[in-house]
Structure 1
């Protein structure tokens, strides 16, 4: 049956793209996150166990929201420091890599395509499920799992290289020593750690604090300024970024 609705011309209703609603949703999400983070600061003082539960639920919610968004242009989210580490052999070719805070899984999948054996670990099971849906898993080469880097028992010396492109700077100061101890346990002697950390103050202060945190188990080869991607999804370009520092560590 032929439709009587005009397909062109002045009689056809003009529909504007819905750009206000997603922006409003993002604004509401930011407000909720600020509220949750304020609550977490209080809860942390009175009940670390409850704080841990709320923190995990926060990330599960974030990744549930993220799962509804498009994921075009994923390749653009690969940090240039990681590309350099792969192309120069700083990450030894074909080695076993732990992607800490793997999120959607595009970095883990990118590494697997280049011959690495990768485990992508994220605090949120919602993120791990999203990564499995988008990239699948390859036995012995690509695996996505829920991983709490602070509380899950490490598998000592299991990885030749570790990548943290946004996990450490989300961890409260009082728990960072636990992070450092566990990361060192996961990494074999001589293994590599590429750390990308957001910079919110003086660069020298951040460099000293990171060196102090990891220096007993890792040797800092070098550091450099970078820009960190603020988006969990790949979304449209240009992307929002913030000042950061990149650190290249070798396990003692």
Structure 2
């Protein structure tokens, strides 16, 4: 199963001019097994592994890791959110505590709608003296524990002569970058029904995907149950995506096949 995803920008490395259409492949159990191991799970280098696994086409050709690292952060997030949607379902739900009164707030987002609201119009990857941060830029700063150091490094890579700008001008440049790539930072706004406080919650596409990957134990249970009933081999079971495996397991639980 594949899904077409329209990106806002496409790669910034000139490899595919004005390339904004991608084909995204649903993750199988084998993909989950491969992506769920390693010290980098949920980190920036892991994102490149995820995209290399799931982005089947970019502008009609299979993208290289260089092409994927040249995607803007917002385009990267669009792909990760759509991958969650097609593999596990489009609805994302959390429970958030109101910082003012402690009330538990239910947050729900349709990931396909979120991506669609930001993606249809192609924007510019550059502006007055800046370019948008890319996946490669985030990889470059991913090991930095100091947030200020990471910010300065990103500015060095993306904004021309930013150190000569005053605070107001630099804020304007960063605002323009955020406006050009609206999915780079995603905040969900909720209003507490008890006290009326507006609560902002960050939506992290990496965390959303990493949290949904089947664990090795879960995959082993799926293989065991489906092999016993259907006689399938482990590779045959792991070739199925999560929703197909779940469908067959539900049939078994209901007394089938």
The normalised TM-score by structure 2 is 0.26
Select the structure that is richer in strand: 1
The normalised TM-score by structure 1 is 0.26
**Larger RCO (CA under 8 A, 6+ residues apart):** 2
